[in-house]
Structure 1
């Protein structure tokens, strides 16, 4: 049987979310006191190890997570998760681009303002001020095309629509 600290490491990894002491104790089938000691041991192991991971205590419990120093690497490797509303807003921009932000709001509602901010911060949409108005022109970026691999998808769509 592996040592308790190693077992807790596996539990935190497999659950993939913060766990309270009680939840960890239930999973490990031991008492809270033993879990506390093993967590201290595990946190100490990670503190002295040259590892990309760490065990931290959060308001929701204990978690095995990537160290903050790897945040930029994670952002470049892990695709951004978008909610349904933001995806629909992104689709509207991609289909109608360039589209005036005011027209987009008419189509998608006032929640689209927040979607646009999120999509700009993720690099999927660019915005430029209209020369003759107070609104902005919105369009998708190269990152959008790369992320959704449209260049690979579009040739097959073109051939299937020509058939």
Structure 2
């Protein structure tokens, strides 16, 4: 490591490592990166965890997981993640969403005819993400699927062409 990095105290070094790694990091990895001993690492981790625990206004926390230690978003802030981080939709799910948006509303049975049985899973995923809503057909056994305001906001579409 560079000399600037080693000038930080161990707690700060570990905090930086956990932030930069972005995933759980084992004590062995932290030891290797900091060149500190196991007892020093454990003591510094306890201090770091305590520091975050005593900052209730912080959006972050340090937690121990089976895979190691992680700097992560507190559970109370997860709703921000869902609203700010783009949804990770695969191509097939995006195509299903496009089919719903272009017909809006569309009967689920018609969607399955067009997109195949895999669309059932896509519909479930899109419902969970809030891009579509589902309502029972007045007469019949299928459901109407339609896009939501979240769809318009996320894709920055005011109105689809008719």
TM-score, normalisation: structure 2: 0.83
Partner of 2:3: none
Deviations along 1:50-101, whole A, 9 cap, x unmatched?
A: 3221100112221101111222333333333323332222122112322221
Residue by residue over 1:22-61, the C-alpha shift from the partner in whole angstroms, topping out at 9 and shown as x without a partner, is 2222222333333222111110111112322110011222
Other-structure match for 2:93: 86
Measured in 2, the distance between the counterparts of 1:30 and 1:109 equals: 56
1:35 aligns with 2:41: yes
- Structure 2, unaligned runs of 5 or more: 1-6
Q: CA deviation at 1:106?
A: 2.7
Match in the other structure for 1:128: 135
Alignment of 1:23-62 (within 5 A): 23-50=29-56, 51-62=58-69
CA RMSD for the aligned pairs?
2.1
Corresponding residue number in structure 2 for 1:13: 19
Structure 2 CA distance, aligned partners of 1:131 and 1:64?
Answer: 49
Count of equivalent residues = 154
Alignment of 1:90-105 (within 5 A): 90-105=97-112
Of 147, 151, 157, the residue aligned with 2:158 is 151
Bigger helix fraction:
1
Aligned to 1:68: 75
* TM-score normalised according to structure 1 size: 0.82
Q: CA deviation at 1:130?
A: 1.7
Relative distance call for 1:25 and 1:110 in structure 2 (3 A) is farther
Q: Which moved more, 1:105-114 or 1:119-128?
A: 105-114
Moved over 6 A (4+): none
